[in-house]
Amino acid sequence: MKKILITGFSGFVSHYFLEHLSSSKESVSILGLDLFHPQFPIDHYKDIECRFEAINLLHKEKVDNLIFQFQPQYILHLASYSSVAFSWRNPIESFRNNTNIFLNLVDTVRELGIECRLLSIGSSEEYGNVSEKSIPITEELETRPVSPYAVARVSQEMLSRVYVDGYGMDIVMTRSFNHIGPQQKELFVVPSFVKQMVEMKKRGLTRGVLHTGDVSIVRDFLDVRDVVSAYSALLLHGKRGEIYNVCSGIGRSLRQVVDLIADKLSLEIEIREDPKMIRPNDNNIVVGSNEKIKKETGWMNDIPFEKSIDDIIAHWDTIE
């Protein structure tokens, strides 16, 4: 039976990963770690034996004990304070809860001498402000982090490199682009748009005003179900020490996203950009190339953007 440790277990991505594992029909034993208890039932996944421990990854001694007892063969390190906006307000806390927790984790595995493969999740934010001629972004592009969050992620990646080359550990790294999908928190831009527009619809409106940040920025959105199948492919077939973009390869402006949602809900939307919602130093256009992960692992993305939006609308439709 495969033993997989998942950090950031109670977050958005984790239970989609469990669903993905459950569909593969192989028996798996999971140890999930998170600060907070998961909001989903952990015992209803077929062929998955699942245990959860509430833990702060900054408490290295506790991490040591749990990992020593569990002896994982795979580690999916999802834990992260992944908000760029939060990192501008709380750079120290953001850094500690990205880079320092990662360092605690990998160093525990090193000290205990556990032979396992670790997937270190990074971010497209690592690339920073990219000129149009570098689009779509390949993994060779130099990183130029422009926010505290992005710095923390590049630091994590540099540490991964040292743990691979200097200590011989088996780590694969991602630079993951924007995720979307049902149940993503409304802190993020797409669910925030959908939620507001679904509420207009519920109130019987046919038109409305949407307060936004800069809607000209272009992002690469990948459905969370494709994200987890990419993570699974990388755990199984990624090359040790390599970095992989996890993305759709398609760019969409936030304006296009608003238009699509409005169209599906038959709403007429007026966009009002609010200067207070525009972030310092934000990147204009972020679209990745997914050639490398496709070529080296056989992964393919399955879910069209329109289907993601339909499912997100359906999700908010069911919420009072």
Note the residues at the interface with a second copy (CB under 8 A): 60, 88, 91-92, 95-96, 99-100, 103-104, 107, 142, 145-148, 150-151, 154-155, 158-159, 161-162, 165-166, 280-281
Nearer residue to a second copy within complex by CB, 118 or 267 = 118
CA distance 119 to 111: 18
What are the DSSP E strand ranges found in the chain?
A: 2-7, 28-34, 48-54, 74-77, 117-120, 170-176, 178-180, 207-212, 218-223, 243-246, 251-253, 268-273
Nearer residue to a second copy within complex by CB, 158 or 277 = 158
- DSSP designation for 137: B
Helix axes 14-23, 224-237, angle to 10 degrees: 70
Shortest distance (Å) from residue 139 CB to a second copy: 15
Q: Give the residue from 116, 110, 78, 107 showing the smallest Cα distance to 2.
A: 116
CA distance 195 to 178: 18
Helix axes 305-317, 189-202, angle to 10 degrees: 50
Shortest distance (Å) from residue 61 CB to a second copy: 12
Nearer residue to a second copy within complex by CB, 156 or 174 = 156
Nearer residue to a second copy within complex by CB, 146 or 173 = 146
8 A C-beta contact, residue 55 and residue 29: no
Shortest distance (Å) from residue 26 CB to a second copy: 34
Nearer residue to a second copy within complex by CB, 39 or 131 = 131
CA distance 130 to 21: 35
Residue whose tokens read 């999700």 = 315
SS3 209: strand
Please give the span between the terminal C-alpha atoms of the chain, in angstroms, as a whole number.
41
Nearer residue to a second copy within complex by CB, 158 or 236 = 158
β-strand partners of 212: 273
Nearer residue to a second copy within complex by CB, 49 or 64 = 64
DSSP string, 95-127: HIIIIIHHHHHHHHHHHHT---EEEE--BGGGG
Shortest distance (Å) from residue 8 CB to a second copy: 20
Shortest distance (Å) from residue 142 CB to a second copy: 6
Shortest distance (Å) from residue 31 CB to a second copy: 22
Shortest distance (Å) from residue 282 CB to a second copy: 10
Nearer residue to a second copy within complex by CB, 118 or 303 = 118
Shortest distance (Å) from residue 104 CB to a second copy: 7
